[in-house]
Amino acid sequence: MLKIAPDLPEEQLMDIIDIITSVKIDGVIATNTTLSREGLQSPHKIEMGGLSGKPVADRSTEVIRFLSDNSQKAFPIIGVGGIHSEKDALDKLNAGADLVQIYTGFIYEGPGLVKRINKAVLKASLNS
């Protein structure tokens, strides 16, 4: 699997799609941490390094949707970034992720988050 940053512009995402399909990489993990501090209100916004959690949620979902739509689902996508609730996980899946991976949300929300997400995914699949 190739793990990519949420900071990539659309032309680089198109290059990623070409690379994954031509080299036959098994899939993509979208996304890693961001270097962007856009929209942060925290006094820590001046710190350097990768930022994860809620600040990357929307951009991660956008990247997932772009990859899914523009690759015609040619490879699996693991959605990562800002998953702190059932809605966050469903947003990633509805954008085209095949699986979701939780890091920061697991730390802040605890292991019960996994059960809540599983129940929400099951309910959503029964309603569709």
CATH of the domain at 100: 3.20.20.70
In tens digits, what is the pLDDT along the chain, a chain of 128 residues?
Answer: 999 999 999 999 999 999 999 999 999 999 987 666 676 677 766 677 666 677 788 999 999 999 999 999 999 999 999 999 999 999 999 999 999 999 888 999 999 999 999 999 999 989 87
pTM: 0.89
Containing structural domain, residue 39: 2-127
Q: At residue 111, what is the residue type?
A: P
Domain count, the chain: 1
Question: Phi/psi at 38 (nearest 5 deg)?
Answer: -60, 130
Q: What is the DSSP letter of 102?
A: -
Each as own residue / partner, the long-range contacts of residues 106-111 (CB below 8 Å, 24 or more positions apart, any chain) are 108/53, 108/84, 109/84, 109/85
The pairing of beta strand 99-101 with beta strand 28-30:
unpaired
Place of tokens 């270097």: 35
